[in-house]
């Protein structure tokens, strides 16, 4: 699959499609949450028990943690580590890099095994990759007349 060029623009249809794919994955493995995280650490979509999680901080930390792993791989002469698994007593996180270098993180409890999580996540990956790749565009996203309203923020 080709590397994406341009900017990620989250259209309504695109987000619905990503929600459907990540929601299906979350249901299949009864994950606590499935987060799709843009490479800068911002949330693209979040499915599952998101109201009980600080998803913004989680996304920043998972993204930072995964970026460190990639830098670590380079130091060891590896091209990249494509996955990261953090195992806890009651919560674990499986993170995988997408073709776009964005990341997909699955947060799950003891009811799912890492084998199942890996298998189902990798199975879903092709469709998620294709969907997110389609949302990259060379057109710069803009919001018209924004500057007139900016002062209202402060």
> In this structure, are residues 135 and 9 in contact, taking their beta carbons and an 8 Å threshold?
yes
Binding pattern for the stretch 82-101 against another protein, x by CB under 8 A and - elsewhere? --------------------
Closest approach, Cβ 119 to another protein, in A, equals 29
C-alpha gyration radius of the chain = 17
Residue placing its CB nearer to another protein in the complex, 82 or 118:
82
Closest approach, Cβ 110 to another protein, in A, equals 26
Judged by CB under 8 A, does residue 118 bind another protein? Answer: no
Closest approach, Cβ 138 to another protein, in A, equals 12
| Of 52, 87, 90, 142, the one binding another protein by CB under 8 A | 142
- Spell out the residues 6+ positions from residue 55 whose beta carbon is closer than 8 angstroms to its own: 33, 35, 43, 46
Total residues belonging to the chain: 154
The phi and psi torsions of 148 (rounded to 5 degrees) equal -65, -30
Beta pairing class for 136-137 and 83-87: unpaired
State the residues that interact with another protein by CB under 8 A. 7-12, 14-16, 38-44, 54, 56-57, 60-61, 64, 67-68, 71, 141-147, 149-154
């Amino acid at each position: 699959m080709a590397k994406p060029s341009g900017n990620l623009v989250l259209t309504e249809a695109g987000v619905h499609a990503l929600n459907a794919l990540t929601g299906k994955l979350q249901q299949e493995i009864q994950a606590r949450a499935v987060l799709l995280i843009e490479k800068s650490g911002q949330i693209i979509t979040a499915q599952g028990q998101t109201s009980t999680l600080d998803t913004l901080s989680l996304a920043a930390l998972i993204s930072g943690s995964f970026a460190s792993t990639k830098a670590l791989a380079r130091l060891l002469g590896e091209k990249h580590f494509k996955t990261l698994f953090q195992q806890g007593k009651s919560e674990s996180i499986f993170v995988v890099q997408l073709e776009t270098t964005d990341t997909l993180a699955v947060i799950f409890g003891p009811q799912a095994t890492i084998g199942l999580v890996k298998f189902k996540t990798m199975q879903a990956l092709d469709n998620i990759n294709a969907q997110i790749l389609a949302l990259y565009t060379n057109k710069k996203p803009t919001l018209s007349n924004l500057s007139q309203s900016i002062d209202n923020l402060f």
